[in-house]
Amino acid sequence: MTAKSMLRQFVPPVVWSLASRAKRGARTPPPREDAQVKSLRDAIPGWLNAGNVRAFDRCIAAMPEGAVIEIGCYAGLSANAILHFLQKHGRRAALFSADPWVIEGPAEPAGSGLGEAEWLGRRRAYIRDTYERATRLHSAARLPHHFEVSSDAFFADWRAGAVRTDFFGREARLGGPIAFAYIDGDHSRDQVWKDFTHVDRHLAKGGFVLFDDSGFHPLDGAAQSAARAAAMPAYRIVAKAPHYCLQKTG
Ligand SMILES: C[S@@+](CC[C@H](N)C(=O)[O-])C[C@H]1O[C@@H](n2cnc3c(N)ncnc32)[C@H](O)[C@@H]1O
C-alpha cells in the first residue's frame, strides 16, 4: 500500500476531492502568450503587462466602430501589439497615438563621460528611433498615425478635427468617435484624469478604455483616476487584471 492510498483511508472523500482539485488548479499553467506578442516582447523594450495584452485582444474584438487611441508609446511595444490585434480581428480601425518622448532617467551610467544632458538627449533619441524602427518592421502594412506631442495637444487637435502630418510623414485628419483607448502616458492622477475626460468626450457607446498601472496600489495616480472613472454611471468594469478596463455603457 502506498503512502497516498493509506492517507486516503483516513481523509473524508469530500475533503480529498477538494484537495485534489486545488492541487490540479495550482498546476494549471498560465495561458500561453500570443506568439506574435511574444516576438514583439523579444524585440522591443517596454513593460507591457500580460493582463493588458488580454484586454487589447478582448476589447479590439468587441469594440464598436471608431478609432483606437494610445497615449504614451515609448519604444512601440504596446503600439505594435495593438496593431497586431487589429489585424488578427480583421478590424480596419486606425491607431492614433501621442507621445512627445519625455524620457526621464535612468541616471547616466558611471564613467560615461557624456554629462547628464547629453546622456538624456541620446537616450531619448534611442527610444524614439527604436519606436520608428520597430513599427516600420513589425507593422509596415498598417503604420499608426503617431503625433510627437503631449496628450493635451493631441486631444485639442482631435476635438478640432485638425489635419496634421503624422510622425511617418502622412497627412491625417484627427477626430471622430473613439472605440478603444489605452492610457499609458503621464501617470500622475491629474493627467490620467485629464486624458480620461478627453477620451470620454469622444468614446462611442460600447467603447473601451484601459488604464495602465491602475491596479497595483490604490493610491497610485492612475489607480485613483481609474477608480473615479469606474464609479461613473456611464461605465462598467470589464476587467481588473490587474489594471482597470472599462466599457462605456451609456
Ligand atoms: C510607460 S511609457 C509607455 C509604454 C508603452 N505604452 C508600452 O507599453 O510600450 C510612458 C510614455 O508616456 C510618455 N508621456 C509622458 N507624458 C506624456 C504626455 N503628457 N502625453 C503623451 N505621452 C506622454 C513618455 O514619453 C513615455 O514614452
Tell me if 186 CB under 6 Å of ligand 1.
yes
State mean pLDDT over 205-223. Answer: 97
Q: Which of 68, 74, 190, 195 to mutate to test the pocket of ligand 1 (most atoms within 8 A of CB)?
A: 74
Query: How far apart (Å, rounded) are the C-alpha atoms in residues 26 and 233?
Result: 37
Q: Per residue in 146-200, pLDDT tens?
A: 999 999 999 999 999 999 999 999 999 999 999 999 999 999 999 999 999 999 9
Pocket-testing residue among 97, 186, 243, ligand 1, by greatest number of atoms within 8 A of Cβ:
186
| pLDDT over threshold 70, residue 2 | no
- Domains of the chain, by residue range, sit at 35-248
- pLDDT of 132 above 70: yes
From CA 90, how far away is CA 60, in angstroms rounded? 10
- CA 48 to ligand 1: nearest atom: 8
Q: In this model, does residue 114 exceed pLDDT 90?
A: yes
Percent of the chain with pLDDT over 90: 85
46, 75 Cβ separation under 8 angstroms:
yes
CA dihedral 185, 191, 196, 201 (to 10 degrees): -120
**Residue 104, pLDDT score:** 83
Q: Is the pLDDT score of 96 beyond 60?
A: yes
- DSSP 3-state helix, strand, coil percentages of the chain (rounded to 5)? 45, 20, 35
> Distance, CA 47 to ligand 1 centroid (Å)?
11
What spacing in Å lies between the alpha carbon of 151 and ligand 1's midpoint?
9
Dist. CA 65 → ligand 1 center (Å)? 25
Relative to the CA of 191, which ligand 1 atom is closest? 19
Candidates 56, 82, 102: which one to mutate for ligand 1, based on the most atoms within 8 Å of Cβ? Answer: 102
172 Cβ below 6 A of ligand 1: no
pLDDT at 91: 98
Residue 16 is predicted with a pLDDT of 61
pLDDT at 72: 98
Residue 236 has pLDDT above 80, yes or no: yes
For domain 35-248, the CATH architecture is 3-Layer(aba) Sandwich (3.40)
Nearest CA to ligand 1 atom 2: 74
What confidence tier does 7 reach under pLDDT thresholds 50, 70, 90? low
Mean confidence (pLDDT) of the chain: 93
Q: Which of 211, 217, 204, 219 is nearest to 237 (CA)?
A: 211
98 lines ligand 1 (CB under 6 A): yes
